[in-house]
Amino acid sequence: MSKRIIVVGANASGVEAASAARKKDRTAEITLISQEKNSGYSRCGLPFVIGGHIANFSDLVVYPPAYFQMLKLTLKPETTVTAVNTKDKTVTYVTKEGVTETVPYDSLVLATGADAFMPPIKGREKQGILSLRSLEDGEKIQAAVKAGAKSAVIMGAGLIGLEVGVGLIEQGLTVTIVEMLPQILPQLLDADMAKLVQEHLEEKGMRILTSKGVEEFLGDDKVTAIVAGGEKIEADLFISAFGVRANTKLAVDAGIPLGESRAIKTNGRMETAVKDVYAVGDCAEAPNLITHRPMCAQLGTIAVRQGKVAGVNAGGGYAQFTGILASAVTRLFEIEAGNTGLTETSAARNRIEVVTGAISSKTKADYFPGAKPIKVKLVVEKESQRIIGGQVVGGEEVTQRINALSFAIQKGMTIRELAKADTAYAPPLNETWEPMVLAAEMVLMRLR
């Protein structure tokens, strides 16, 4: 009898899990069940449709229906899983027509993702507060812009909040960002690096209010203004970008344990504490490669890697997920920003004593036309002198430097080794001295 594999969730991690399982087992019955109408699309691309860089939301669909047919994967869209019985090894779901079915599984992969988070703010039940998590959410924001919205308030200055803010300014709206913490991009950058990004955004016309929490939503039935830091701010469009929380309800109801991060606890094979049940993506936790503590990073790159590991194992193979550095990059107008490993702030939170070094340089030879500024910051564990974090902010060439620093951290490179790195140079491409090497020398000076 063919093995029955059920995947709950059909986006990045879920589709990757199903695909990997199919490559391991050509005869298995593999079913993906998704609450959403659209499956296999890129959530990360949503702000760039709003900004007009990508023509249509439909262009974000990475895996069209033909893909599922080709791999003989059964896709059930607009279907809600209501219960998982790990003792009987069954899944109960309700279709969009209201039909309830209970089906057996041999292996189950939970890829239930995360939900937009709304703090308990007075007036939050009012209409007109939008978030950006799905294609439908994106279409609502785009519809509001097309209907004549002229101003927007975005609550939260993380990656999504700022990317949406940039997109709306590109569409001609005036945008105010409200952030409770003292800096923008608090998960990605330290305050000194975030300041460079904030200055660029403000030059482009974005109003940014830090250290101001949203206290109340004003309006009758529909929100017309917010109160933040005692100030009333009116707008046509209100977008919640407070962050997301792992969707763990199914797991909790089924008695599957959560971990330290309040996401689903997993081991190196992405198995939960219950046999034959795996968890991947934004609902699952895994260890940080530096601190070894569990975390739930909620990045697309991590989701697909975890999905592949779970899929191989669910299909009868063997694979291990090594852990998380949470490397991430973004582009906001003409500035790029990225991080890998720990920031100085997160190292302090984990009681790791560090030495840091930063350097401002150019992306080409200083005399070459079009050379853009770039700043590199390195975070080094004082005792071992190992590199444990890197941040880069600049006009171009940020991603590959973040990738290089990610490789360095994963291989346990010390700051002395990086300072001696053999790097490439040509006037139109890079300075004679690579900025990462110069930053390493700054750290060495402090260590002496």
Instruction: Give the residue from 266, 262, 259, 234 showing the smallest Cα distance to 247.
Output: 262
289, 275 in Cβ contact below 8 A?
no
Task: Copy the structure tokens of residue 103.
Answer: 């089906």
- What is the spatial distance between Cα 402 and Cα 159, in angstroms, rounded to a whole number? 16
Annotate 175-214 with b (16+ C-beta within 10 A) or e (fewer): bbbbbbbebbbbbbbbbebbebbbebbeebebebbbebeb
- What is the spatial distance between Cα 435 and Cα 386, in angstroms, rounded to a whole number? 18
**% of the chain beyond a pLDDT of 70:** 100
Phi, psi of 111 (to 5 degrees): -125, 55
pLDDT digits (tens, 9 = 90+) for 210-240: 999 999 999 999 999 999 999 999 999 999 9
**% of the chain beyond a pLDDT of 90:** 100
Residues with Cβ within 8 Å of residue 426, at least 6 apart in sequence: none
> Mean pLDDT across the stretch 298-313?
98
Question: Which pLDDT value is given to residue 61?
Answer: 96
User: Of residues 4, 29, 44, 365, which has the active-site annotation?
Assistant: 44
- Measured on CA atoms in the order 415, 419, 425, 430, is the torsion positive or negative? positive
Domain boundaries, the chain: 4-36+77-115+245-314, 118-242, 334-447
1: pLDDT strictly greater than 90:
no
Active site residue 296: no
- What is the spatial distance between Cα 210 and Cα 69, in angstroms, rounded to a whole number? 49
pLDDT digits (tens, 9 = 90+) for 133-184: 999 999 999 999 999 999 999 999 999 999 999 999 999 999 999 999 999 9
State the CB neighbour count (10 A cutoff) for residue 316.
14
* CATH topology match: 4-36+77-115+245-314 vs 334-447: yes
Instruction: Give the residue from 162, 174, 208, 209 showing the smallest Cα distance to 331.
Output: 162
- What CATH number was assigned to the domain covering residues 118-242? 3.50.50.60
Question: Which pLDDT value is given to residue 163?
Answer: 98
Question: Which pLDDT value is given to residue 266?
Answer: 98
Instruction: Give the residue from 238, 210, 243, 213 showing the smallest Cα distance to 225.
Output: 238
Mean pLDDT (the chain) is 97
Instruction: Give the residue from 340, 335, 257, 272 showing the smallest Cα distance to 302.
Output: 340
pLDDT digits (tens, 9 = 90+) for 195-210: 999 999 999 999 999 9
pLDDT digits (tens, 9 = 90+) for 395-419: 999 999 999 999 999 999 999 999 9
Fold (topology level) of 4-36+77-115+245-314 = FAD/NAD(P)-binding domain (3.50.50)
pLDDT digits (tens, 9 = 90+) for 312-371: 999 999 999 999 999 999 999 999 999 999 999 999 999 999 999 999 999 999 999 999
CB-facing half-sphere around the CA of 416: CA atoms within 13 A = 5
232, 243 in Cβ contact below 8 A?
no
301: pLDDT strictly greater than 90:
yes
Q: Which CATH superfamily is domain 334-447 in?
A: FAD/NAD(P)-binding domain (3.50.50.60)
